[in-house]
């Protein structure tokens, strides 16, 4: 699924440089204006506080092939540690891909940075990435506030995002673990997550998650189901549709076989009704349209 916005306050991560986001912190780190160095990959260690823990293997392999053919275009950034070794500040994905490409050295900027500066750079670089899932963004915001001792207002000034944006992402971390996992795995959209946040009871949230996964509820359908749960069973509208007789059931089955899809028929007490033919993707829709075209000939 494509990532979707979480409504107001859930805007896309910007494309500005780190200097625009970090202000004085970046100025202090860059004050020596270091040049690019070729450093042995074996002397470089990843940052143990790297916020990103999962790296897409296929994307890494593709990048390693590019690096093997054309070299690394954008240097990584490191700081010097004890015993002549270096620690990555930003660019661990490029470092990993270079190792896969069997490179012995890698171009790198060597910065002077304290532990808090390194953490802030790593987290902020992650927030800028376009392929982060909403939970990764929320965790980065939370860590920036906790480990850099920042309020939402102060963090808003640092990263150039509205406070409501940060607050809405952090709210995702209050969802049950099962929902957070489903969101990270793109089994539900951020629109679904926004609707689930409005449900207070965790059991109800998990119940609605199961309905999304088994019934394929759209965000609008989920919002309606959530409102019904919050209002209670007495508020549910009575079903005015007539019970389906055997003829209806048989017709649904025949049409379903004809269109190779799920078909639903409904009819109210006045005789009005609707016929719904479901499809899962554009290919199935085109097949259904093709059958109608044949019927018109």
Residues annotated as catalytic are 92
Classify burial at 113, counting beta carbons within 10 Å of its beta carbon; exposed 0-12, middle 13-18, buried 19 or more: buried
Output the six-digit token pair for 264: 């639903």
Q: SS3 of 216, please?
A: coil
What are residue 268's DSSP bridge partners?
A: 241
Residue for token pair 């609605």: 208
CA–CA dist 153, 161 (Å, integer): 10
CB 186 within 8 A of CB 133: yes
What is the CA 42 to chain-centroid distance, rounded? 33
Q: CB burial class (10 A; 0-12, 13-18, 19+) of residue 293?
A: exposed
Q: What are phi and psi of 16, to 5 degrees?
A: -65, 160
- Token digits of residue 170: 């952090």
DSSP code of 262?
-
Report the C-alpha gap between 199 and 171 in whole angstroms. 12
**From CA 261, how far away is CA 289, in angstroms rounded?**
12
Which has the closest alpha carbon to 86: 19, 140, 38? Answer: 38
Q: How far is CA 213 from CA 80, 192, 206, 216, in A?
A: 48, 11, 11, 6
């Amino acid at each position: 699924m494509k990532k979707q916005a979480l409504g107001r306050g859930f805007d896309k991560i910007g494309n500005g440089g780190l200097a625009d986001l970090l202000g004085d912190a970046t100025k202090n780190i860059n004050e020596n204006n270091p040049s690019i160095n070729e450093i042995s990959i074996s002397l470089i260690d990843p940052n143990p506080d790297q916020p990103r823990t999962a790296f897409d293997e296929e994307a890494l392999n593709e990048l390693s092939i590019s690096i093997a053919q054309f070299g690394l275009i954008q240097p990584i950034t490191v700081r010097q540690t004890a015993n002549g070794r270096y620690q990555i500040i930003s660019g661990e994905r490029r470092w990993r891909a270079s190792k896969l490409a069997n490179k012995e050295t890698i171009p790198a900027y060597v910065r002077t940075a304290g532990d808090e500066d390194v953490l802030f750079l790593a987290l902020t670089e992650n927030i800028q990435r376009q392929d982060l899932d909403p939970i990764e963004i929320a965790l980065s915001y939370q860590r920036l506030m906790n480990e850099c001792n920042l309020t939402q207002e102060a963090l808003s000034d640092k990263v150039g995002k509205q406070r409501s944006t940060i607050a809405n992402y952090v709210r995702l971390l209050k969802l049950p673990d099962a929902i957070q996992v489903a969101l990270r795995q793109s089994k539900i959209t951020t629109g679904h997550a926004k609707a689930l946040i409005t449900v207070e009871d965790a059991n109800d949230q998990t119940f609605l998650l199961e309905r999304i996964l088994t019934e394929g509820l759209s965000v609008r359908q989920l919002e309606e189901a959530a409102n019904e749960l919050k209002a209670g069973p007495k508020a549910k509208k009575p079903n005015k549709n007539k019970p389906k007789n055997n003829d209806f059931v048989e017709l649904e089955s025949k049409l379903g076989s004809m269109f190779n899809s799920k078909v639903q028929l409904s009819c109210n007490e006045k005789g009005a009704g609707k016929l719904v033919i479901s499809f899962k993707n554009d290919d199935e829709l085109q097949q259904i349209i093709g059958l109608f075209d044949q019927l018109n000939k």
